[in-house]
Structure 1
Amino acid sequence: SAGDQAYNNRPLPNHSELLLDPQPYTSNFLPHAVRRNFDYRVTRTYSQVSNYSLEHIQDSMKHVEVDDQLVSAATPAPIPEEDLKKSERDLEEGSTSVEFDDPPSDDPNAVNWDGPDDPANPQNWSTKKKTINVILVSSVTFVTPLASSIFAPSIDQVMREFHSTNEQLASFIVSVYLLGYCFGPLVIAPLSEMYGRLPLYHICNVLFVAFTVACAKAPNLGGLIAFRLLAGLAGSCPLTIGAGSLADMISKEKRGAAMSSWALGPLFGPVIGPIAGGYLSAAKGWRWSFWVVAIVAGAITIVAFIFMRETYAYALLEKKTKKLRKETGNTKLRSILDNRTTTEEVFRLAITRPTKMLLFAPIVSLLSFYMALVYGYLYLLFTAMPSLFEGEYHFSSGSVGLSYIGLGVGSLTGLVISGASIDRFAQYLTSKNGGEPKPEYRLPFMGGACFIVPAGLFMFGWSAENKDHWIVPIIGTSFLGCGMIIVFMCISVYLVDAYVQYAASAIAASTVLRSLVGALLPLAGRSMYKSLGYGWGTSLLGFIAAAAIPLPFVFYKYGERIRRKNLFDVKF
């Protein structure tokens, strides 16, 4: 027929383009039923650390029998096997071709949505329902990072109350929260794949409130440290699966505003926390920093129990499948998204793949280390600034929180600059180099930020050492905040673009390392400043940051070659 002839004569996409942006091409060479499932899975790839299931579709295929007619219908014109294998290599020999484990749409035992307009599908929810869920996810994602630093200005009060002068312990009480951020996602992400997002939100919200209350009632330093760690573990939930929740509800082309509201929490929560914590500790004592967080988080938890709904399509279709099995007695029914992956396999991939990428993918390891270093500097300053501005500039315990405003202003500036410029700069380089987009075009813009970070550190350190006007070191921290956000944005986008199929694991690897360094590096802060002073102590940090300046330029030139050559013969 004419339709078959048109199908056979359809243009085939360039494989590199298909890997970078598959959706524009799926409508040209896939049947409708298969295309819907393909588009859905591609969207889930970009849901960052919460969406491991797409990454192990290939690993689970050995458990799935795919109908031969489906494979035949989904296969375009014959392509030489050698070319196909070559095109399917992703970066460090990681990626394989996308296969479909979903049964055909006419399979009587396949449970799917009731048509493209099924109101049970989160993509078809009303605007009001989506808005409520976005607000709730964004709210809890703001509160838990805020709790990581709201305690920082009052650490000296705590040490006096518990009669301790251990400087490393004082820093660790603040940063131990980030150890929870480090290890929490390794458990929460796979659990969300098996049981859905909603149970994880509810359980972690309740635990977060409980452990925060326990921090407020802590009888000694040991108890405070333990409860801070547990609060961090529970508080990592919205950071782990929040982006995935928004992707479940909102199509990619309309997702920008929702993702921006969600991203404000991790970026500005740690900066706003000390400002509020300074006045709270001065007026009510350090324990009220925890009480306020517990009250706000408790209110959000109650509202979430009432209004938050499950968004994860896999969990919703599993629930529908179980209901239909019970109603019909047909035990052969299964969800169209069921890939029959075992619990052990889900946890294995959630832990081993990010670890492999961190150890054996030079791009992931080096860029993640630099991101972790800058993040560690942020929390090191959180523990050092109260001593500087109270001891040297004689700020009150309430107004010392205002010294963190520089970080907030700088972070906001960096967010505006990166949001407006990263894509445009990459598009400019694409048009300048023949119109073929490459992930490396994200990196030159980061080069400027790599100069800003050490410049801010030098300005902060030597102005504090020379006891210049208090505004000067605060301006220095604003440069650090601006550079930090630009570095974060550029590296995150680059890792997602470069490691298409394994984007979630690449981001997870960088998140784990960042949280680990953020927790441990501040332990050296107070003793370092005591030995070297603010000038040379901060200069040491600046010199280390300056040594990383060549990174974006090196990877811009050699990144593609490194990605395409498996240096360690490791498959992810």
Structure 2
Amino acid sequence: MDAKQVHVAADDAEKGPESSSTAARGGPISNIVDWDDLNDPDYPMNWSKSRKFKNISVICYCTFLTPLGSTMFAPAIQDVMRTYQSNDPLLASFVVSVWILGYFFGPLFLGPLSELYGRLPVYLVCNVLFTVFNICTAVSPSLAALVVFRFFSGTFGGCPITIGAGSFGDMIHPRSRGKIIAIWSLGPMIGPIVGPIAGGYLGASVGWRWICWTLAIASGAGAFASFIFQEETYPPTLIERKCKKLKKLTGNQALRTDVHMDRKPSHVFGRAIIRPLRLLFLSPIVSILSLYMGVVYGFMYLLFTTFPLVFQVQYGFGTGTIGLTYLGLGIGSLLGLGVAGYMSDRIYHKKAVDGRMEPEWRIVPLIPSAFLIPAGLFWYGWTTYYKTHWILPELGTVLIGIGINVLMMCISTYFIDAHPRFEASATAAATAVRSLIGALVPLFGRSMYEAMGLGWGNSLLGFITVVMAPLPFLFFKYGQRIRTNTRFQPSL
């Protein structure tokens, strides 16, 4: 296989290894170090299933913990405010949402750092700091300190959400990527739903500080597992390690890689840091779909604030059992997982056989599912307005859960396939936008519901998502044209 054939095969394999043999490369670049061939066992996509499973399991576990912590605190917030002798309702909402605000700042540097220094160092440092700041929240001496500690918990805890997609892009072949991303996407969906259930019972039985201690113990276990089981998966970092090893073994100091070749470290670092912002502002695919994800994610957190109002006040649920009302979204998320994971990989296999597979095929399952979100919002809003049996608004949240999970999974997979090598930066940009909207929307949502009521308030959200629902179809039809247009290709 000559160098050109290897390169073509590598493109087909999504960041597959290129030939590095001197005979193939020849001439003045014979000192370039690369993968041995397409079947190089050190290349992450060629790892054994058990080796991949260890890495994936730790990432999925840590991805679940961070969203869990974002809402686990919510049921006990009144106890927190009493502890610090405050009755400011806006401040009470901010204590909960500041965790999500940390998601906004973290991705802007965590994603690029993982593409500069590798995934593993970022995971290890962030998992340890996540545990440390969870402990700090448990022993917070003041409300101001609690806000600061929760902000940093969200910042560093958001690491697996930010670079998890990049890790899966490193290890998982596109033909199997759909179901893995679907499972990983459950973390940001199920975590916020399980959080209030666990937090409600913990807060009522042992107090709000033990909510923080429980999360600290769980995050400590995740940090320990990351040191034991996780490995570096980023191919450019692994190639640079291979180059250093060969220099030591052969004594040939002229060996080098074509990663960041002939570029100053400061220049590389600067470009890596601004890469998510360049993608966010210069790539219509990233900017528009990130905004779409952010709006829907913000609406989900806004719905969380209405559940106590609806089910505790209107339907008379107790403080402990009110957390169970979040299960509708959870059931919907599980259904969305099955639908999106199955359809995504099935479509890929079919189109790969025809030789026509493009990243845009990843969003096909979202085209019909996008309309489930407004349908669920209308359903939930008007059944609560007319005070029907409590099961009916719960069924509305099931539809919302299906739609949101399919949306997050499809767009995340699309970003990986559309931005090979820089998928972590693309995901970081989306996570930052999603988190900023998710943190701010609930702060103003209660005023909207007080002014418009549950019926028209949720209908307003439904109308917004109806307007955005055609976006998946538009990107499916015109996405390739946008991706290949030089006007929309930021220099990365």
Contact residue 181 and residue 409 of structure 2 kept, 8 A:
no
- 2:95 is matched with 173
- 1:404 is matched with 326
Contact residue 130 and residue 153 of structure 2 kept, 8 A:
yes
Whichever residue aligns with residue 4 of structure 2, its letter is L
2:405 is aligned, of 485, 495, 498, to 485
Contact residue 204 and residue 320 of structure 2 kept, 8 A:
yes
2:227 aligned with 1:300, yes or no?
A: no
2:79 aligned with 1:139, yes or no?
A: no
Deviation track 1:245-300 (CA, whole Å, cap 9, x = no partner) reads 34444555565665554343233222222222221112112222211111111122
Whichever residue aligns with residue 220 of structure 1, its letter is S
Q: Give runs of aligned pairs for residues 274-289 of structure 1, distance below 5 A.
A: 274-289=196-211
Q: Does the C-alpha gap of structure 1 residues 123 and 538 become closer, same or farther in structure 2, counting only changes over 3 Å?
A: closer
2:437 aligned with 1:464, yes or no?
A: no
2:143 is aligned, of 197, 213, 221, to 221
- Structure 2 SS opposite 1:42: coil
Whichever residue aligns with residue 456 of structure 2, its letter is W
Q: Does the C-alpha gap of structure 1 residues 543 and 194 become closer, same or farther in structure 2, counting only changes over 3 Å?
A: closer
1:42 is aligned, of 15, 18, 25, to 15
Q: Does the C-alpha gap of structure 1 residues 180 and 154 become closer, same or farther in structure 2, counting only changes over 3 Å?
A: same
Q: Does the C-alpha gap of structure 1 residues 342 and 143 become closer, same or farther in structure 2, counting only changes over 3 Å?
A: farther
Q: Please say which of residues 126-135 and 193-202 is displaced more in the overlay.
A: 126-135
- 2:157 is matched with 235
1:418 offset after TM fit, Å? Answer: 2.0
Deviation track 1:107-156 (CA, whole Å, cap 9, x = no partner) reads 3xx55668888776655655544433332222222222222222222223
- 2:299 is matched with 377
Q: 1: CA distance between counterparts of 2:228 and 2:345? A: 39
Q: 2: CA distance between counterparts of 1:114 and 1:491? A: 33
2:456 is aligned, of 531, 536, 541, to 536
1:514 is aligned, of 434, 441, 454, to 434
Whichever residue aligns with residue 551 of structure 1, its letter is L
Contact residue 172 and residue 523 of structure 1 kept, 8 A:
yes
Q: 2: CA distance between counterparts of 1:297 and 1:386? A: 28
- Structure 2 SS opposite 1:165: coil
- 1:160 is matched with 82
1:375 offset after TM fit, Å? Answer: 0.5
Q: Give runs of aligned pairs for residues 185-204 of structure 1, distance below 5 A.
A: 185-204=107-126
Q: 2: CA distance between counterparts of 1:127 and 1:398? A: 41
Q: 2: CA distance between counterparts of 1:237 and 1:292? A: 20
Q: Give runs of aligned pairs for residues 236-251 of structure 1, distance below 5 A.
A: 236-251=158-173
1:330 offset after TM fit, Å? Answer: 4.8
- 1:395 is matched with 317
Q: 2: CA distance between counterparts of 1:357 and 1:202? A: 26
Contact residue 100 and residue 439 of structure 2 kept, 8 A:
yes
| Number of matched pairs | 489
Contact residue 368 and residue 510 of structure 1 kept, 8 A:
yes
Q: Please say which of residues 138-147 and 261-270 is displaced more in the overlay.
A: 261-270
TM-score (norm 1): 0.74
Q: 2: CA distance between counterparts of 1:254 and 1:556? A: 20
Structure 2 portions without partners, runs of 5+: none
1:521 offset after TM fit, Å? Answer: 0.9
1:162 offset after TM fit, Å? Answer: 2.7
TM-score (norm 2): 0.85
Larger Rg: 1
1:179 offset after TM fit, Å? Answer: 2.0
- 2:4 is matched with 30
Whichever residue aligns with residue 30 of structure 1, its letter is K
- 1:334 is matched with 256
2:25 aligned with 1:70, yes or no?
A: yes
Q: Please say which of residues 186-195 and 443-452 is displaced more in the overlay.
A: 443-452
1:551 offset after TM fit, Å? Answer: 2.9
Q: Does the C-alpha gap of structure 1 residues 354 and 399 become closer, same or farther in structure 2, counting only changes over 3 Å?
A: same
Q: 2: CA distance between counterparts of 1:143 and 1:475? A: 26
Whichever residue aligns with residue 15 of structure 2, its letter is V
Q: Does the C-alpha gap of structure 1 residues 395 and 557 become closer, same or farther in structure 2, counting only changes over 3 Å?
A: same
Q: 1: CA distance between counterparts of 2:36 and 2:363? A: 44
1:68 offset after TM fit, Å? Answer: 12
Q: Does the C-alpha gap of structure 1 residues 249 and 545 become closer, same or farther in structure 2, counting only changes over 3 Å?
A: closer
Contact residue 162 and residue 431 of structure 2 kept, 8 A:
no
1:306 offset after TM fit, Å? Answer: 3.3
Deviation track 1:209-242 (CA, whole Å, cap 9, x = no partner) reads 0101111222232212111110111112222333
Q: Does the C-alpha gap of structure 1 residues 301 and 459 become closer, same or farther in structure 2, counting only changes over 3 Å?
A: same
Q: 1: CA distance between counterparts of 2:468 and 2:58? A: 38
Contact residue 145 and residue 269 of structure 1 kept, 8 A:
yes
1:483 offset after TM fit, Å? Answer: 1.3
- 1:414 is matched with 336
2:471 aligned with 1:551, yes or no?
A: yes
Contact residue 314 and residue 338 of structure 1 kept, 8 A:
no
- Structure 2 SS opposite 1:405: helix
Q: Does the C-alpha gap of structure 1 residues 453 and 150 become closer, same or farther in structure 2, counting only changes over 3 Å?
A: same
1:207 offset after TM fit, Å? Answer: 0.5
Q: 2: CA distance between counterparts of 1:448 and 1:118? A: 40
Contact residue 43 and residue 252 of structure 1 kept, 8 A:
no
Contact residue 174 and residue 383 of structure 1 kept, 8 A:
no
Structure 1 portions without partners, runs of 5+: 1-26, 45-53, 55-66, 73-101
Q: 2: CA distance between counterparts of 1:111 and 1:276? A: 51
Q: Does the C-alpha gap of structure 1 residues 518 and 340 become closer, same or farther in structure 2, counting only changes over 3 Å?
A: farther
Q: 2: CA distance between counterparts of 1:117 and 1:426? A: 22
Q: Does the C-alpha gap of structure 1 residues 461 and 362 become closer, same or farther in structure 2, counting only changes over 3 Å?
A: same
Q: Does the C-alpha gap of structure 1 residues 251 and 503 become closer, same or farther in structure 2, counting only changes over 3 Å?
A: closer
- Structure 2 SS opposite 1:30: helix
